[in-house]
Amino acid sequence: MSYSSSSKFPLLMPLMVACLIMAASGSNFHNDFDITWGDGRGKIVNNGEVLTLSLDKQSGSGFQSKNEYLFGKIDMQLKLVPGNSAGTVTAYYLSSKGTTWDEIDFEFLGNLSGDPYILHTNVFSQGKGNREQQFYLWFDPTTDFHTYSILWNPERIIFSVDDTPIREFKNMESIGVPFPKNQPMRIYSSLWNADDWATRGGLVKTDWTQAPFTASYRNFNADACVWSNGASSCKSNAPSSSTSTNNAWLSQEMDSAKQQRLQWVQQNYMIYNYCTDAKRFPQGLPSECKMS
């Protein structure tokens, strides 16, 4: 499969342009993130406007947010490892700590030059994951920056790419499905070697003659509730309409246009959905799958 043009879905182009304009203000990575490992392979450059992670045969690299969040709308622009990226994984995710952690994952699985990346998504709640959905993208994510977003509120998690939703995970605690809502999470990202599984199940290994492999980040934005000293920066009884407007994402859901775009992505670009993998769940599909 090769990358297709957006002509199949004309609404996408103005959406992408609008999203790029919206994110143009950006932020300073020095203020928001710490590079946590990689022995100098992670760098904040351009006066804090760009962060880069690199991978070579000795080590990958990673960073994490200074803040913890309990709900938010998180946007980041990424430009992925170009060329032959087989064996590499660029992970960008939210996660809490502990043995019953919560986690919301974007993982970008590298591939041979000319083949499309696989975008791997997962949701963990109380230490349990196994909720993978995988997609191809409708563009080459290595030639320019694109915006990858996580909307996380008490009712749903929505994964979006350039403001186009690709996946929704709803709160279905009413039927016994745990939902991430009590544990604050940090933002993490890492670039690492996973050639034992990442590309064609580990058949294609990392070509170290192509190293160093580099992914770039810019225009981070978090409309989010910062968790600090056991308390949230968001007030549940907002005193003013402006505060309520600023926190509109806390009750946001998809309108009919967004639902239509979600269906378009899932019909045309989804390549794996745990909810249709009956062989994997011989005792029956997970409860949430029966509700969708």
Q: What is the pLDDT of residues 159-193, one digit of tens each?
A: 999 999 999 999 999 999 999 999 999 999 999 99
Q: Which pLDDT score is estimated for 292?
A: 62
Q: Which residues are catalytic?
A: 103, 107
Count, in order, helices (H) and strands (E) of the chain. 4, 16
Q: Which pLDDT score is estimated for 26?
A: 52
What residue has token string 């859901």? 253
Q: Which fold has domain 29-229+250-289?
A: Jelly Rolls (2.60.120)
Q: Which pLDDT score is estimated for 243?
A: 43
**171 vs 247, residue with greater confidence:** 171
Contact 161, 16 (CB under 8 A): no
Tell me, what amino acid is at 88? T
Q: Is the predicted pLDDT of residue 109 greater than 70, yes or no?
A: yes
Q: What is the average pLDDT across 226-231?
A: 95
Burial class of residue 43, CB neighbours in 10 A (0-12, 13-18, 19+): middle
Q: Is the predicted pLDDT of residue 121 greater than 90, yes or no?
A: yes
What residue has token string 């981070």? 220
> Which range has the worst mean pLDDT, 32-41, 239-248, 249-258?
239-248
In angstroms, rounded to a whole number, what is the distance separating the alpha carbons of residues 58 and 189? 18
Q: What is the average pLDDT across 116-123?
A: 97
Q: Which of 117, 58, 93, 258 is nearest to 190 (CA)?
A: 93
Tell me, what amino acid is at 137? L
Q: What's the mean pLDDT when you consider all of the chain? A: 89
Q: What is the pLDDT of residues 35-58, one digit of tens each?
A: 999 999 999 999 999 999 999 999
